[in-house]
Structure 1
Amino acid sequence: MTFSSMSPRSIGLLCAASAQGLIGAAAGVSAVLRDYPVTGGQMLRYTLAALVLFGVLRVRRIPLLRPTRRELVRLGLLSLSGQTVFNLCLFAALDRADPATVGSILGATPLLLVLVAPLLGGRRPSRSVFAAAVLVVAGAAVVQGLGGGTAVGLVFACGVALCEMGFTLIAVPLLPRLGAWRIAAYATAMAIPQMSVVGVFTDGADLIRTPSGTELVALLYLALPLTAGAFLLWYSALARVEPERAGLFMGLVPVTAALSGLVLGTGTPTIGQFAGALLVGVGVVLGLRAEEGEPAPDRVAEPGVGGSSAPVVIAGPPPGATSEP
């Protein structure tokens, strides 16, 4: 089966799995930047990613649409929750709790999406998808392993999970008019001044320094495959699949993180981690099969990844939704 012959839903599922796989694989890369200024590194990452995304918009001849006031506010909140505050909470949590604890709490995001996303879209949460999300979260916890940390660290870890959920739900109403490409570019660009303001107060004159060779490679990975690539893939997925079902693939993050450790030689997966990965896979499959026999959600038209028009699944159509050529 070729990419062009796949259904919009199949493309969305593939995009969701690919996005979360890239995010999980970034775990080992981020460790290289532990000595680099946090806000400065994020500024460089988002600047490079924004340049690439806007360059792609120009090459693909996708016109820049001026966001309405409401869309501008939503884009600012999207950038604030999914990029600026997310990263600040993540680094703060890792300073006060071990990665296993943070990863396990972040792995609970699919459960939050299963409960909240349908309600925001005027639908009832699916019991079958909820049960599948429980399996995904359990498998992610087994892969990640339950660790320890301070109470403050746990609070920051919960903040990371809430930001991850916001990064998904805030974007959904923007997709019908702006599309995945524009949202990824606009939100990434808006994260640059947000990070610079934080950096002035936290790092001051040490905000940015010349990265070493390995740090530069890590920044390039975070900017291109992770930010430009994963963000675009995730928003493309949300344009075709309900947020709660796309969210099931978040369970792949600790799985691909463990596999990246094996590939990079920084860790060796255990039998328990393989068992957890199997549990995640079962949960994802059950969650996707649960849609059979359920009423289909509302659909609107939205430009697809290839620039063609394709059906899109959203969490309830926003007023004034329009289609684009």
Structure 2
Amino acid sequence: MGQNTNIRGIVQAAVAMTTVGTLTAVSATVSRYPVYGGQAVRYAVAAVILLGVARLRGPRPGPSARWEWPLLAALAATGLAGFNVCIVEGTRYTSPATIGTVVGSVPVVLAVAAPLMEGRRPAARIVAAAAVVTAGAALANGLGGGSLPGLLLALGALAGEVCFSLLALPLLPRLGAVRVSAYSAAAAVPMLLAAGLAVDGTSVLRVPTRGEVAGLGYLSLVVTAGAFIVWYDALGRIGADRAGLFAGLIPVSAVATTMVLGLRSPGMAELGGALLVGLGVIVGLRRSAERPLAVAAPADHHDPAHDEEGHQDQAHDDQHPEDRRFVAEKAADHGV
């Protein structure tokens, strides 16, 4: 992959997580709207937009009923609906700072789990950088404290955030970022409506006010449709382990958004946390002799007719000499 691909992936990951960070402040505009109904509306509108974009991009093979649809359902249940349920219910038992601190450990989990899913060893440098990013995110969140149920729900939210990226990885090469985003958002709608009916009954949906329409519109178009596409595209360009470093920008962006809106001014801890996040990202993205920065080309920019042609040659060309030697040694071990 070229330098332009690397830079684009880095920018996309940063933009996606910065955008997600604005969710906290903007959600205040829809705080009086039924929570689960609001999330269902958010994902439904985003799904319509994304499906329209997918249609404009031209025909592409649909998900395989054998394994891709179940994986999309699992992605929606964990990374979208399950994440939101854990966040909402978790605030009943603990502070948002505690939940943010736990979810802020996403970079460390992705730095370890993503390489293992790809059959390679986690890079110590990236894991260390992810730890620095996580510490900065925790500091920016204010650490916090809470009860055992709150901690368990925070861990559930962390699992959902991790699944949001890891479960998408096998789907992206064939379906692409737009369709993975569209199908998972659509699948999350009935799940959230079911949760809303259980909690709020028939009050799960109502006609929103003008302010709520604006807030839900921003959450649907920018935080969901826009951020999903650029995040999933970034995963294919720089890998989930490196892209995960930018999750530390979420609390930093949240603080910046509240400051821009005039809600409050950041304290020293939040500023220090932002500096730590920046340091961790810089260290994690530095090139090293372990392997190139980019790991795969995003599927949406490939011609499907050429997906198979030349695939093996391109993979061989993109491999770093150390990776080729490692593969050769493994092949020899298995008598290939």
| Same fold (TM > 0.5) | yes
Query: Using the alignment, how far apart are the partners of 2:5 and 2:294 within structure 1?
Result: 14
1:273 aligns with 2:278: no
Alignment of 1:176-191 (within 5 A): 176-191=173-188
Deviates further, 141-150 or 55-64: 55-64
1:61 aligns with 2:58: yes
Number of corresponding residues: 308
Q: Which runs of 5+ in 1 are unaligned?
A: 314-325
What's the counterpart of residue 257 of structure 1? 254
Residues 169 and 264 from structure 1, CA distance in 2 versus in 1: closer, same or farther, beyond 3 angstroms?
same
1:81 aligns with 2:74: no
Residue 133 of structure 2 contacts residue 248 of structure 2 at CA under 8 Å; is this kept in 1? yes
Task: Pick one of 172, 184, 194 that aligns with 2:169.
Answer: 172
Q: Quote the offset at 1:201 in angstroms.
A: 2.1
- Render the CA deviation track for 1:243-280: whole Å, top value 9, x for unaligned: 11100000000100000010111111112211211111
1:93 aligns with 2:53: no
Structure 2 letter corresponding to 1:295 = R
Task: Pick one of 17, 40, 56 that aligns with 2:37.
Answer: 40
Residue 101 of structure 1 contacts residue 146 of structure 1 at CA under 8 Å; is this kept in 2? yes
Structure 1 letter corresponding to 2:246 = F
Residue 236 of structure 2 contacts residue 296 of structure 2 at CA under 8 Å; is this kept in 1? no
1:303 aligns with 2:299: yes
What's the counterpart of residue 232 of structure 1? 229
Q: Quote the offset at 1:62 in angstroms.
A: 4.5
- Render the CA deviation track for 1:117-144: whole Å, top value 9, x for unaligned: 1111111111111110111011111111
Q: Quote the offset at 1:16 in angstroms.
A: 0.7
Residues 307 and 33 from structure 1, CA distance in 2 versus in 1: closer, same or farther, beyond 3 angstroms?
farther
- SS of 2:188's partner is helix
Identity %: 41
Structure 1 letter corresponding to 2:39 = Q
- SS of 2:237's partner is coil
Residue 177 of structure 1 contacts residue 302 of structure 1 at CA under 8 Å; is this kept in 2? no
What's the counterpart of residue 196 of structure 2? 199
- SS of 2:205's partner is coil
Residues 299 and 114 from structure 1, CA distance in 2 versus in 1: closer, same or farther, beyond 3 angstroms?
closer
Task: Pick one of 203, 211, 219 that aligns with 1:222.
Answer: 219
- Render the CA deviation track for 1:196-234: whole Å, top value 9, x for unaligned: 222222222111011122211111111110110111111
- Render the CA deviation track for 1:151-180: whole Å, top value 9, x for unaligned: 111110111011100111000011111110
Query: Using the alignment, how far apart are the partners of 1:211 and 1:148 within structure 2?
Result: 34
Query: Taking structure 2 as the reference length, what is the TM-score of the superposition?
Result: 0.86
Q: Which runs of 5+ in 2 are unaligned?
A: 308-313, 319-336
Residues 297 and 77 from structure 1, CA distance in 2 versus in 1: closer, same or farther, beyond 3 angstroms?
farther
Structure 1 letter corresponding to 2:73 = G
Residue 101 of structure 1 contacts residue 147 of structure 1 at CA under 8 Å; is this kept in 2? yes
Q: RMSD between aligned alpha carbons?
A: 2.3
Query: Using the alignment, how far apart are the partners of 1:307 and 1:226 within structure 2?
Result: 28
Residues 156 and 270 from structure 1, CA distance in 2 versus in 1: closer, same or farther, beyond 3 angstroms?
same
What's the counterpart of residue 290 of structure 2? 294
Query: Using the alignment, how far apart are the partners of 1:229 and 1:305 within structure 2?
Result: 17
Query: Taking structure 1 as the reference length, what is the TM-score of the superposition?
Result: 0.89
1:14 aligns with 2:5: no
From the CA coordinates, give the structure whose radius of gyration is larger. 2
Residue 81 of structure 2 contacts residue 192 of structure 2 at CA under 8 Å; is this kept in 1? yes
Residues 299 and 144 from structure 1, CA distance in 2 versus in 1: closer, same or farther, beyond 3 angstroms?
closer
